[in-house]
Amino acid sequence: MHFDEALSVAMLKTLFDVTVVRTRDIVKLEDADMRVDVGGRFNPDTGDFDHHQPDAPRRANGVKYAAAGLVWLAFGDRICGDKDVAELVDRVLIQSGDAADNGESPWKHLHNPTPYTVSFMAEAFNPTWLETDLTEEQAFEQAVEFASLVLARNIAQAKAGVAARTLIRQAAVEREDPRILVLDRKLP
């Protein structure tokens, strides 16, 4: 799972009643109304939002679209209700995720780039001057929930990485042929 597909589903959920089926099964994909990050095609008219093809589109500034960017390209104006707002969200959030998903520096093509870090994500919970119904305390609690999830997932990832190193070292010691390393499970 990558940010582009999670963000794509989050976007689509703002507009549609979405049931998510994560699969690469061709029959299930053909039966779906939309396909995100799978299928090898980009065509909003047929509900295809994949960027894994040689002719995948790039923005005018050179940033290659990932699935999230393709969904945003098709629906961003509608999600935001304003083209200028959609362009700003693309520039601030979507493009950096798209670039990273495509193995590019999120800053490579951007003029005066600012990385969209986890700190910026947390700061996005601050109420805007237009949100008079959201108190700073409520926003802080939302940011704490977000930070708790980020912390928990990073701890889980780190624990798995340390455990994997131990298993790989053990397999290296136990191997019969020094050219072959056999693992009994998927490891990072």
pLDDT at 106: 67
pLDDT at 155: 80
Q: Which of 128, 2, 167 is nearest to 68 (CA)?
A: 2
Spatial strand order in the sheet of 42-43: 35-36, 48-49, 42-43
Q: Which of 58, 22, 26, 56 is nearest to 39 (CA)?
A: 26
Calculate the alpha carbon distances from 115 to 52, 107, 118, 135, 152 in Å. Answer: 24, 7, 9, 27, 23
Angle at 63 between CA 59 and CA 69, to 5 degrees: 70
pLDDT at 112: 52
Q: Is 49 helix (H, G, I), strand (E, B) or coil?
A: strand
Which conformational region is residue 182 in: left (phi greater than 0), alpha (psi within -120 to 50 degrees), or beta? beta
Q: Which of 66, 75, 96, 89 is nearest to 4 (CA)?
A: 66
**Pairing outcome for strands 35-36 and 48-49:** parallel
- The three-state DSSP-derived secondary structure of 141-188 is HHHHHHHHHHHHHHHHHHHHHHHHHHHHHHHHHHCCCCCCCCCCCCCC
Q: How far apart are CA 142 and CA 149, in angstroms?
A: 11
pLDDT at 109: 63
Name the pTM for this structure: 0.72
Judge whether 125 and 119 are in contact, CB under 8 Å. no
Q: Output the tens digit of pLDDT for each of the chain's 188 residues.
A: 777 888 888 889 989 998 888 888 889 988 889 898 888 889 999 988 998 888 888 898 888 899 999 999 999 999 999 898 898 888 878 888 888 888 887 666 665 556 677 767 778 888 999 999 999 889 888 887 887 787 678 688 878 888 898 888 888 888 888 788 888 888 87
pLDDT at 15: 93
Calculate the alpha carbon distances from 149 to 70, 122, 125, 144, 145 in Å. Answer: 27, 12, 14, 9, 6
